[in-house]
Amino acid sequence: MKTKRIVYGCDWNYCNEYSLISLLPDSFKLTMNKKWLNENIYGNGSVHACHTCSNEMCGNRRHHINYDQCAFASCNNPTTCSLYNVWHDVETDELCYQSECTKSVLIGESSEDNQKYKVQVEAIVYLSQNRSNFEIWKLNINCAAHDCTRSSIFQEVKGQIKNDITKLMAFPAVRLSTTASNVQSIQPTLSCYECACYNDPACTCNIVQPFDASLSYCTIVRVNFESGHFTVDLEHINRNSTRVHIRKFPFLLAEESILYNETTKEWTTRTNILVYGCNWHLCNHPSLVTLLPNSFKMTLSDEWLNENILDNGTSMRACHECPGAPTCGTIDFIDASRCPIHSCNTTCVVSDLFDDPSTGELCYESYCSSTEAELTEYQHRVELEGIIYGDQPDIVELWEIDLYCRADDCSRPELFNEIRENLTLETENITLLLDNSSQPIVEPQIICYDCFCYDDPNCTCDKYTVSSALSSYCTIIRENYGEDFFIALEHINRNSTRVYIREFPYLLVEESIIYDEKTGWWFTRNNIVVFGCNWDYCNDPRLVPYLPNSFQMRLPETWLNSNVLGNGEPARNCHECPDAPQCGTNDFLDISRCPIHSCNTTCLVSDTFDDPLTGEQCYQSFCAPPDSEFFTIDPHRVELEGVIYARHPRKVELWEIDVFCRADDCSRPEIFKEIRQHLCVDLGDYTLFLGNTSTVGQDNDTTICPATTTTKTTTLITTTSTTATATISMTTTFTTTTFRITTPRPTTSRTTPSAIVNTTTSATSASVTSGTTSKVEQTTTAPYETTTTAKSSPSTYIAYDILLPFLLLVSLINLY
């Protein structure tokens, strides 16, 4: 497909920045299966009948188009059919249809709009939504296959169209906030795979690096050694690093040696270097590496080589001598008088270097090899360096020719023209390399920062990896353990969260609201924050310092006192679900399966949502064992895990609620609905992540917390140079006591940030278990000390998705 027109639209100051212009041509690419087009559009090249509508037919979901009014009618002459589908409202499917035999006045095929066979698509992709999805506004079809004007053809076309989203990297996904001036958008770059392999014919690679697209391009370079070993490098190279300027992309370059074996008396061709070069996003894909060997070869006939290069048995030969410097000219004329002929009893070495093969400009040099420098093998040799451009795959331009010859007068300048005339080009896989439409289908890719940091609030990162955009997305994850924390910038699998992520970008927070027995205060501790997004480089490390204050969830202290803390009674009613969670919806849950029992310890209640959008949830409750030397439990605590999406950032969806309570009947299922009703959200720097996409007063918004709240907030010590200094009244030390159950965290292994070339990689392993003593910084108005308990592990990933009640049950079984 060829892009005829492309428009980027945005609605904030200076958003149509000049640097984006060069990226527009390749930003939004639609493709279709060629086989399907041949069968359903081209057909036999002409038709004798088409569906014909006397007038344009319109309809929508409620009032469908009556296609019967467009009868199948004969055309006056063998021709093609012309039809179109225009959507006036994509959301309601309000559209119009027209079909007829192509009129002769339209056969002006010089116009792009009047191509005889075509599928013309007008489509839009909204950058703030899933970029894999796009809406089609209009379809124009000129076809010559039988019954190609059938009413279903438009749906079939829509099903065949694929969108390559990987080239949208530089276009922001959300409306940038005017307060985000210190988090600049990434400048337009060219991203290339960056890996080095030795004796690996496939060279699997998922590391990428961005560079200035105006100064570099992507390459796959294979170097073959005489020993049979080889290297493969996927990398950028500088735009001006080649001796001859690369005029077009893609290209293939080969450096070869045509060698004479003195023992076998045979000529052989050896490929020394092969280079594939291209200049679009991730174009040096590893899937192309195996296509490079033998992609093209330059050869000369044995007869010509024997006559013009090989020693004819004489001890002396004529050889031009240019003692001072090369003599330059053109293919048609070079002043050979500057290189007089001398007698030579060794090898004559002749070079022809092209400054610009397209103009025939070259420099010629020739001399008789000294006895000391005489070659011991391959005394008869031709070195060739040639390039093929994608738009002329059957033409090779020679950059350099070097001859090592012993034939008489083998240094004559005319010899280079003879080489070009006698050169034979052999190609293999060249179409797959130089024709983008023929290359192996690669599913859409997404580039993410990929680094791991421990107790580093900025987490500087210059390593990037690429993965499937269909099955993964980018994240910034911060997990807090007292005063310690670790940060991960990485891909995660699309299905790795317990609840499916519906939209991007999003923010997810897991918090603990904990009661302090000594002070009688409630405070909130942030355990984990996740930012998720689905466009290239979106998990920018410059966002890391703003993550802790992106948003927090709160509950009123009066409600917590009444419904979680209780009145100090030694026993309370607690539902018991001894076997498994009971699942249902917000409106109905069979609580009879969880009968009420008296409980003189802490009642543990969990509400886990399989789908917050539909209200599907699983409820579990039981009375905890008494405290012992093996474990201690917080008697009063609420754990909340909530997510907000960019489209509706003022609405918090709760994925999980865990309540540790001693109030009477605090395990009633209705308590979770009450929590959602009383929940408020404190929106901090969320616009840096989600953009200014919210509107005030949307239905079902979560209440915004008042400026002053009675719930105390634990703020982690994360002072950085990029954030404003907060006013802290005091610092309080908490001693954290946890269960004696060892709950292992998943061991994380990541490679450290690496340099662009010759990467040194090491594995970093982090294993965190519950049970830590920590300091936290507390925003309060009075000094106090307290004993609290850290939660075991967050439940962001499926690997963590084990409810705390199960852990306690397992512990109890082990004890007894």
- Summarize the confidence of residues 483-508 as an average pLDDT: 91
Q: How far apart are CA 687 and CA 742, in angstroms?
A: 38
pLDDT above 90 as % of the chain: 40
| Structural contact between residues 586 and 613, judged by C-beta atoms closer than 8 angstroms | no
Q: What is the DSSP string of 128-149?
A: TS-TT--EEEEEEEEE-STTTT
**Other Cβ atoms within 10 Å of 645 Cβ, number:** 19
**Other Cβ atoms within 10 Å of 213 Cβ, number:** 21
Answer yes or no: is pLDDT of 284 > 90.
Answer: yes
Which of residues 497 and 557 earns the better pLDDT score?
557
- Summarize the confidence of residues 528-532 as an average pLDDT: 96
**Other Cβ atoms within 10 Å of 573 Cβ, number:** 16
Answer yes or no: is pLDDT of 778 > 50.
Answer: no
- Summarize the confidence of residues 504-509 as an average pLDDT: 93
Which of residues 558 and 755 earns the better pLDDT score?
558
Segment among 210-219, 367-376, 492-501 with least mean pLDDT: 367-376
DSSP 336: G
Q: How far apart are CA 691 and CA 701, in angstroms?
A: 17
| Structural contact between residues 625 and 808, judged by C-beta atoms closer than 8 angstroms | yes
Segment among 158-162, 263-267, 318-322, 658-662 with least mean pLDDT: 158-162
Per-residue pLDDT band at 765 (split at 50, 70, 90): very low
What per-residue confidence (pLDDT) applies to 508? 94
Answer yes or no: is pLDDT of 206 > 70.
Answer: yes
Per-residue pLDDT band at 484 (split at 50, 70, 90): very high
* Nearest alpha-carbon partner for 253 in 353, 158, 385: 385
Of the ranges 52-56, 581-585, 698-702, the best mean pLDDT one: 52-56
* pLDDT tens column, 656-705: 999 999 998 999 989 998 999 999 988 887 888 887 654 444 556 788 88
Answer yes or no: is pLDDT of 372 > 70.
Answer: yes
Q: What is the DSSP string of 549-590?
A: TSEEEE--HHHHIIIII----S-EEEE---SS-EEE-SS---
- State which H helix or E strand residue 25 sits in: none
- Residue 656's DSSP bridge partners are 608, 641
Answer yes or no: is pLDDT of 536 > 70.
Answer: yes
From residue 298, alpha-carbon distances to 258, 270, 309, 400 in Å are 9, 10, 16, 13
How far the first Cα of the chain sits from its last, in Å, is 70
Q: Which residue, chain included where needed, has tokens 């994608």? A: 390
What per-residue confidence (pLDDT) applies to 677? 92
Q: What is the dihedral sign for C-alpha 437, 443, 449, 452? A: negative
* pLDDT tens column, 332-368: 777 778 889 999 999 999 998 876 777 777 888 999 9
Output the six-digit token pair for 93. Answer: 């499917």
Q: Which residue, chain included where needed, has tokens 């009383």? A: 678
Output the six-digit token pair for 677. Answer: 């009703």
Q: How far apart are CA 523 and CA 517, in angstroms?
A: 11
Answer yes or no: is pLDDT of 773 > 90.
Answer: no
Q: How far apart are CA 241 and CA 251, in angstroms?
A: 15
DSSP 625: P
| Structural contact between residues 196 and 233, judged by C-beta atoms closer than 8 angstroms | yes
- Summarize the confidence of residues 295-321 as an average pLDDT: 91
Q: How far apart are CA 222 and CA 294, in angstroms?
A: 11
- Residue 174's DSSP bridge partners are none
What per-residue confidence (pLDDT) applies to 313? 80
* pLDDT tens column, 397-450: 998 999 999 998 999 988 988 999 999 999 988 888 988 776 667 788 899 999
Q: How far apart are CA 716 and CA 726, in angstroms?
A: 12
At residue 703, what are phi and psi to the nearest 5 degrees? -60, 135
* pLDDT tens column, 613-630: 677 788 999 998 888 767
Q: Which amino acid belongs to residue 694?
A: S
Q: How far apart are CA 512 and CA 612, in angstroms?
A: 20
If you average pLDDT over every residue of the chain, what do you get?
Answer: 79
Q: What is the dihedral sign for C-alpha 532, 536, 539, 543? A: negative
Answer yes or no: is pLDDT of 186 > 50.
Answer: no
- Summarize the confidence of residues 638-660 as an average pLDDT: 90
Q: How far apart are CA 211 and CA 120, in angstroms?
A: 34
Q: How far apart are CA 256 and CA 298, in angstroms?
A: 8
* Nearest alpha-carbon partner for 392 in 249, 284, 217, 285: 249
DSSP 19: G
- Is 362 exposed, middle or buried (CB count within 10 Å of its CB: 0-12, 13-18, 19+)? buried
What per-residue confidence (pLDDT) applies to 770? 31
What per-residue confidence (pLDDT) applies to 515? 94
What per-residue confidence (pLDDT) applies to 608? 81
What per-residue confidence (pLDDT) applies to 242? 86
pTM score, two decimals? 0.61
* Nearest alpha-carbon partner for 500 in 588, 581, 609: 609
What per-residue confidence (pLDDT) applies to 760? 32
